[in-house]
Amino acid sequence: MASMSSGLVRPHSSKIGFFHRLLDAAVILLSLTVALQITRDLEFSGQYAQAGVWGVMIFLMIGGARHLYSSWRLVPVHEAVTATLVAWFWTMVALVFLAFLSKTSSDYSRVAMLTWFGLAPLALASVRVSLRVVLNALRSNGRNTRTLAIAGKTKLGKQVVEKVEQTPWLGMQFIGYYDDRLASRDCKHTAHDAEGIGRFDELVALAREGKVDYIYITLPMKAENRIVELVNALSDTTASVYLVPNFFIFDLLHGKMSSLDGIPVLSLHESPFYGVDGWLKRLEDIVVASLILMIIALPMAVIALGVKLTSPGPVLFKQRRYGLNGAVVEVWKFRSMTVCEDGDKVVQASKGDMRITPFGAFLRRTSLDELPQFINVLQGQMSVVGPRPHAVAHNEQYRKLIRGYMLRHKVKPGITGWAQISGWRGETETLDKMEMRVKYDLEYVQNWSLWLDIKIIFLTVFKGFINKNAY
């Protein structure tokens, strides 16, 4: 078996956390200095020094609450960056609030402060990405590694090992399986078995000697007593212990641990937009929708005139669709058909559909018919990014045919979405196509981040508006 890890530091080292706090403080103060120099060539006087100190203190306090200075080794870098940006956002809010209460806001250059507010998060994010790149390179070369043991020779344990082998930048050095059940397991023997399968008492002994850093328990859920015994034994060590329950038997949607008055519970189907993330998503919607509406106000007026002059009927078509939590909302579109169908049976538009007006066909191909939905976003009924809303009749049809279909309504419907930029836009004349669209919608809900929204908005500009499948 492998012995001590060759890492530069031990997991959750207080020294690393202290160094990271010092680095963040330096970055924040340096960003303020640069902001003062590039705006009005201002000096780093007492009032700005005070603002910088307050900014550092508040950011470190919020960062500590959001566990920014714990180990992020096993967490994707984009999640670390997102957590950093959220912490800085609330730092800005707190600083503005303090300036308002103390009536000192007029003492500061607004240009300089806005520059600082924009420069600091970029610098903080860049530092984290740079550190991750350096550490990943070190770990890939065998430095800054951690030893990993698997308690439980199971299929799930094999999946964990395969994941570790596929991600060498995590710096995890697998040292073997440990299991008291020495009979043949479901998981076939691998090359790792050259060192043999140890017993739990051997694993505990290694952990007490500091020769194993991470222990993943992958025993079956029915082995509750053995899991409790092992966890109790490992509590006398400094190893980081993780329980990997076989929740693959469920379809987890943004599953996370929480508690019910002290009782731990695991969410199986949950919305990602509770708490701070929900506020951040709403702020994103308001800012993006407002900016876009200012840009498209004149084109929308021209389109409205075109709809009115080319065919009889209303300019806007309001269709009932399922929104957040399955509530019915009215989604606005420029009318593109000679009819306004919204009953119990709605026929999807198809190629050569006689109901579509010539001008409406142009609007549908270019997605210009959906521009009024930015008003829905400001109303709070929709988001800029999210699963595309379907007609109520279609929801009732597909919820009976596609497992997990209604889980896409754990978030607000969007004007554009992950499915649309991935090629699943337009007519879904077969069940397979709708299943693929729902698959991508659920992937979005499970993996939501601010960066994913920005990516989708950016790609929509190039590949989301005009699509050969949109009729």
pLDDT single digits (tens) 4-27 = 333 333 333 445 667 788 888 999
Where in the chain is CATH 3.40.50.720? 146-249
Mean pLDDT throughout 268-274?
Answer: 73
pLDDT value of residue 5: 38
In order of 80, 111, 112, 185, 340, the CA distances from 125 in angstroms are 8, 22, 20, 45, 48
In DSSP terms, 243 is beta-bridged to 217
CA distance 212 to 173: 10
Highest mean pLDDT among 87-101, 153-167, 256-270, 348-362: 87-101
pLDDT of residue 298: 93
For 276-320, write each residue's pLDDT tens digit.
778 889 999 999 999 999 999 999 999 999 988 888 888 888 888
pLDDT band, very low/low/confident/very high, at 73 (cuts 50, 70, 90) = low
CB of 287 within 8 A of CB of 294?
Answer: no
CA distances from 140 to 131, 145, 159, 172, 286 (A): 14, 9, 20, 10, 42
Reported as a pLDDT band with limits 50, 70 and 90, residue 200 is confident
The torsion of the CA quartet 207, 212, 216, 218, rounded to 10 degrees, works out to -70
In the predicted structure, residue 69 carries a pLDDT above the cut 50:
yes
Q: How far apart are the C-alpha atoms of 120 and 35, rounded to whole Å?
A: 9
What is the rounded CA–CA span in Å between residue 22 and residue 19? 5
Give per-residue pLDDT as tens, 24-51: 899 999 998 888 888 776 677 778 888 8
The rounded percent of the chain whose pLDDT value lies above 90 is 15
CA distances from residue 246 to 198, 346, 414 in whole angstroms, order as listed = 22, 42, 33
Residue appearing with tokens 């002290």? 262
Q: Mean pLDDT across the stretch 95-116?
A: 84
Architecture label for domain 146-249: 3-Layer(aba) Sandwich (3.40)
Alpha-carbon separation of residue 19 from 52, 58, 70, 113, 129 (angstroms): 19, 17, 12, 26, 16
Q: Reply yes or no on whether the pLDDT at 377 is more than 90.
A: yes
Q: Which helix (H) or strand (E) holds 291?
A: helix 276-310
User: Contact at 8 Å (CB) between 451 and 78?
Assistant: yes
Q: Is the pLDDT of residue 247 over 70?
A: no
34-48, 349-363, 401-415, 445-459: least confident range: 349-363
SS3 category, 78? helix
| 376 pLDDT more than 90 | yes
| Res 252 pLDDT > 60 | no
